[in-house]
Structure 1
Amino acid sequence: MSEPARTLHALHRSRAAGDPLVLPGPWDAASARAFEDAGFPALATPSAGIAASLGYEDGATPAGEMFAQVARIVRAVSVPVTADLEAGYGLAPKELVERVLETGAVGVNLEDSDGRTMNDPHAHAEWLAAVRAEAGDALFVNARTDVYLRGVPEPAAAALERSLLYAAAGADGVYPIGAPPEDLPGLRAGLGDGPALNFYARPGAPPFGELGRLGASRITFGHGLLLRTLGHVRALAEELRGA
């Protein structure tokens, strides 16, 4: 295991209930350096944020451009980076893992829908198991489930069922994106002492410490931090336009 991979795994372990791991989402080298300079011990790239920074709609970034941008971010910082690679771009597990490792990233976030429909959970678990087998301990595998986004009935139960399957397949973390804070205690209880539980923080979410006490062990932001930054850029543009 590389030192960055060892560090990323260690950051997820044995966290106090009110101290979840907070991972900002850089979309380019400059934002990655800003987050590192602020003292964050690791970073998690957002696919939607990178897409926007490269001029693509979410989900439309060519795989080669996504891997290249992740590599630029990794080169820009000294802290571990985990990469959101959507549903894996149709790559076989061996090629996917090879390309992730080529970027220098030591973690990967993989989702279980194609942006419209959910993957069969058992087939997806088998695919994750193959990714785990190829990666060994070189990658922290975060398995995202989109049940809340895709209108699946009884999403909390569905999220737990899928998360348990993915954890059994070797996922280090699970990510029921869109889960409301009130569902965290049930999800954490159902997962027991198993995988890290990732919460998607949006404006208006409870403070990080409270989210941790509810059951979250990892906090990410998707492309939310980019959107906030663009708000400042637009305000600056209006100021300049009126000068």
Structure 2
Amino acid sequence: MSTVEDFRALHLGRAPGDPLILPGPWDAASARACVAAGFPALATPSAGVSAALGHDDGSTPADEMFAAVARIARAVDVPVSADVEDGYGLAPDELVERLLEAGVVGCNLEDSRAGVLKDPQEQAAYLAEVRAAAGDRLFLNARVDVFLHGDGDPAHAVERAALYVAAGADCVYPILAPADTLPVLRAGIAGPLNALGRLDGTGPSPAELGALGATRITFGPGLWQRADRAVRGIVAELVP
């Protein structure tokens, strides 16, 4: 049975250019396809899961998201981390309980809400409460949204990351950080660093992102978007 220790170990001791690659399945079938391809762990994307459930990203009810994540975790025998957006307004102990009930070993938590960055001190305090409630039972990936909703200053991303790591985050995810900022982020951030990879043939490869300092690569809804385009192409061929 997969454990948080297995998942945490996958992040440690990685050589430059060899980041942990976590595809983003959106349902049980896509999760099984990822495992069959040989991936040792998975990370669900909120946008992909939301689309599969018929919701816009950010509008999926918490109950539906946790149920979907639980189906994914049950379908595979590798560790699964869940993107639970900003925690859905749940108290830290309830959030941890629901994640553990879903069978996941980790989660992403964003530091913005409705397109606005949260106060970093308040977010750090929330992460500290989640860590206290979880103990060592969950791997916490703290998303830093400076490049998404802030001023894009790497120094500000590093400042937020330092607060989150001090609060107990296991990994930091400065989403949409330009590739040329990764060395600066790597130098300023302790512990594993998550970078966003692209599946549309643009931007650096996962290995190149790893060489720039990324410990792990996730793809947001990229996998779902490619699958959606493929399905649209197939059904278009069926139109009389």
Question: What's the TM-score bracket when you normalise by the shorter of the two chains?
Answer: over 0.9
Q: Could you tell me which residue of structure 2 aligns to residue 209 of structure 1?
A: 207
d(CA) in 2 for partners of 1:162, 1:207: 26
Amino acid at match of 1:235: G
Q: Does 1:196 align with 2:202?
A: no
Query: Pairwise mapping of residues 87-126 of structure 1 onto structure 2 (< 5 A)?
Result: 87-126=86-125
Q: Give the whole-Å Cα distance in 2 for the aligned partners of 1:214 and 1:85.
A: 27
* Aligned equivalents of 2:62, 2:205: Cα separation in 1: 35
Q: Mapping of 1:28-177 within 5 angstroms?
A: 28-150=27-149, 152-177=150-175
Q: Give the distance between the partners of 1:240 and 1:166, measured in 2 at CA.
A: 50
Task: Supply the AA of the counterpart residue of 1:100.
Answer: L
Residues 183, 80 of structure 1: alpha-carbon distance in 2 compared, 3 angstrom cutoff: same
Q: Write the deviation string for residues 118-146 of structure 1: whole angstroms up to 9, x where unpaired.
A: 11000100100000111111110000011
CA contact (8 A) 2:2 2:78 kept: no
Count residues with an aligned counterpart. 238
Query: 1:153: how far off?
Result: 2.5
- Tell me how far 1:13 sits from its aligned partner: 0.5
In structure 2, list runs of 5 or more residues that go unmatched. Answer: none
The normalised TM-score by structure 1 is 0.96
> Is the aligned partner of 1:229 residue 2:232?
no
User: Deviation digits for residues 130-172 of structure 1, max 9, x if unmatched?
Assistant: 001111111100000111111x225211111101110010000
Q: Residue type of the partner of 1:109? A: N
The SS at the match of 1:241 is coil
Give, in whole Å, the separation in 2 of the partners of 1:146 and 1:85.
Answer: 15
Does the 8 Å contact 1:196/1:218 carry over to 2? yes
Q: CA deviation at 1:208?
A: 1.4
Partner of 1:187: 185
Query: Identity of counterpart residues, as a percentage?
Result: 60
Structure 2 CA distance for aligned equivalents of residues 4 and 139 of structure 1: 9
**Deviation readout 1:100-119 (Å, 9 max, x if unpaired):** 00000000000001032111
CA distance, structure 2, for counterparts of residue 175 and residue 155 of structure 1 = 15
Q: What does the per-residue CA deviation read over 1:19-49, in whole Å, with 9 as the maximum and x for residues that have no partner? A: 0000000000000000000000000000010
